[in-house]
Amino acid sequence: MFTSSVAQLAAIIEGTICGDASLEIQGVQSLNKSRSTDITFLESEKNLFLLKTNQPGALITAPQLAEKIPEQSRPAAIILVADAQEAFLKVLTVFKPERPRAKIGISPQAHLADETTVGEGCNIFTGATISDDVEIGDHCDIHPGVVVGPGCRIGNNVVLHPNVVLYPDVLIGNNVIIHASAVLGADGFGYRFQQGQFLKIPHRGGVRIEDDVEIGACTTIDRGMIDSTVIGQGTKIDNQVMIAHNCEIGRHNAFASQVGFAGSVTTGDYVRCGGQAGIADHVHLGEGCSLGAKTGVHKDIPATETHLGIPATPESEQRRILMAVKKTPQMKKQIRQLEKQLSELSDQLQQLTSASDQNMKKAG
């Protein structure tokens, strides 16, 4: 079992120790599951209560949070740093290092066409299929079951996890990770309805993935009809995301699971979409805007704004709507009371009117 002293860990993350520097740590754990032999981290005051029921051996946190820990809840050692999460991630890799990269070269059981070009230091695993006119850069990993269609271009340091499918003419930049069973370059969902039937529209564009993109498992990105569908540099796409034909995604976007883009959607840089957000065709998402989970977007979203709900509205407006919905039972009760009072007042008015009419007749 790997162990490390608090002093050794503090040196790695350049932190200041309060408490027992010689304490031996056996593992890393989240705060709500930590034990006396673990090290964990605290980055928010709202999680201070977890220290009442969980006693980690060591805690990484910021100085201002350390001051708020009650004496009876203080771990044996606290390491003070500016960014607790960043420091903890360094410690995490010490206890749980990444598995070393394989060095198998090109497996005899992989299927490579004669006109395939493969760079230096690549691993092409058993069962991968590489078609004609494919270029693969240096230090790439092509895992079992991957299919790379004709005309594809793959940059350096690219990882294609098992069963990824690249249809013909997909372009992949450098340092790209594509997770298992993602499909890039399938035809877009485009048809013309003529004479009682759907006729397929040909899609002759491609897909272009720029540098430093990561694409989640089972995500699908369709090819364009004329031009390429584009995923901008540094964008991160979660599992089971659908990006339709002709979309042009900006740089450093982030999309959570099950987000869906209809055809010809464009985005600026630094756009964020919560899980299951849906964006209608030909919509533009402005630079730096954010969409909450399950947001339904049917028109352009201005830059930097946050929109929620179905249909999407600005966050401030959506909060007012939610508050109104919460008050609906109370409003319903008040309306019934008002209806009852109105009925009573109407009866009284009718009685007064009848009495007045009778008095007028007697006077006449």
Please list the active-site residues.
245
What sign for the dihedral angle of Cα 193, 195, 197, 202? negative
Alpha-carbon gap, residue 290 to 239, rounded angstroms: 19
What value, to the nearest 5°, has the Cα angle with vertex 342 and ends 337 and 343?
100
Residue with tokens 């899609």: 203
Tokens in use for 75?
């771990």
Cβ atoms of 44 and 63 closer than 8 Å:
no
State the SS3 of the chain: CCCEEHHHHHHHHCCEEEECCCCEECEECCHHHCCCCEEEEECCHHHHHHHHCCCCCEEEECHHHHCCCCHHHCCCEEEECCCHHHHHHHHHHHHCCCCCCCCCCECCCCEECCCCEECCCCEECCCCEECCCCEECCCCEECCCCEECCCCEECCCCEECCCCEECCCEEECCCCEECCCCEECCCCCCEEEECCEEEECCCCCCEEECCCCEECCCCEECCCCCCCEEECCCCEECCCCEECCCCEECCCCEECCCCEECCCCEECCCCEECCCCEECCCCEECCCCEECCCCEECCCECCCCEEECCCCEEHHHHHHHHHHHHCHHHHHHHHHHHHHHHHHHHHHHHHHHHHHHHHHHHHC
